[in-house]
Amino acid sequence: MQYSPEQKNSRTVNTIIALSLLFGAAAYAIPVVCEAKGVKYMPWLFSLLTLFSVVTALYFLVRYKMTGFVYALRPRSEIESDPSLETAYAANFNIARMPADWVDFVVMKSQGSRMPVTECVLSVGDLVEIIPVSPKGKGGLTPSDVAKKYRERAASDFAFYDYTLSYRWESATELVFIDGQKYVGIIIEADEALEGLLRSLKK
């Protein structure tokens, strides 16, 4: 099973890109006009503003328009290659019937025309908690709250990785895994089907 989130704030992203380019064009044009009229100006300031505008537009274009994520649940590679297990768990591997230890949670990332790259592979058997999160804690905890909770529990550092697609997302799901001796948080924008399957596998 796999799911790809969609950009929920496309209009805002498009507006930021357009305004950044317009501001950059204006910052580039003003020195030309000043030179033509003999007006004194600070070249370095307008060069800096132009560069900042272009970099901002490129960042939003690449991060929020050209980037895509795929969240997948798949059988572990050693399970997938065993014909006897394939027979036992039906054709095409019915993930919902498998033990959690036999299922991997995978995040793949793509940018533009590049081939997708696997960002993380974690066993669902190591899934500790599924937590609704939001930047302001509405309807759940913030990612910082989750990190504080697990830092205190493990008396060690807690790393979390943001694999959300939407700009300024309002709600997401954080999956907390135990990886060796430390906890790891994975923030995703899951749909109901994926989150429901994760919860059923975790039981």
Span 81-109, average pLDDT: 72
Residue 58 has pLDDT above 90, yes or no: yes
Across 3-7, 40-44, 80-84, 96-100, least confident range? 80-84
SS3 per-residue string spanning the chain? CEECCCCCCHHHHHHHHHHHHHHHHHHHHHHHHHHHHCCCCCHHHHHHHHHHHHHHHHHHHHHHHHEEEEEEEEECHHHHCCHHHHHHCCCCCCHHHCCHHHEEEEEEEEECCCCCEEEEEEEHHHEEEEEEECCCCCCCECHHHHHHHHHHHHCCCCEEEECCCCCCCCCEEEEEEEECCEEEEEEECCCHHHHHHHHHHHC
Model confidence at 37, pLDDT cuts 50, 70, 90, reads confident
> Which pLDDT value is given to residue 70?
94
Task: Tell me the percentage of the chain whose pLDDT exceeds 90.
Answer: 52
Q: What is the pTM of this model?
A: 0.83
pLDDT tens profile 133-147: 998 767 678 998 998
Give the per-residue pLDDT at 90. 46
pLDDT at 155 over 60: yes
- pLDDT of 95 higher than 60: yes
10-37 and 43-60 are packed helices; what angle lies between their axes, rounded to 10 degrees? 160
Reported confidence tier of residue 186, pLDDT bands at 50, 70, 90: very high
Q: Which one has a higher pLDDT value, 93 or 13? A: 13
Cβ neighbours around 138 below 10 Å, total: 11
Euclidean distance between CA atoms 189 and 192, whole angstroms: 10
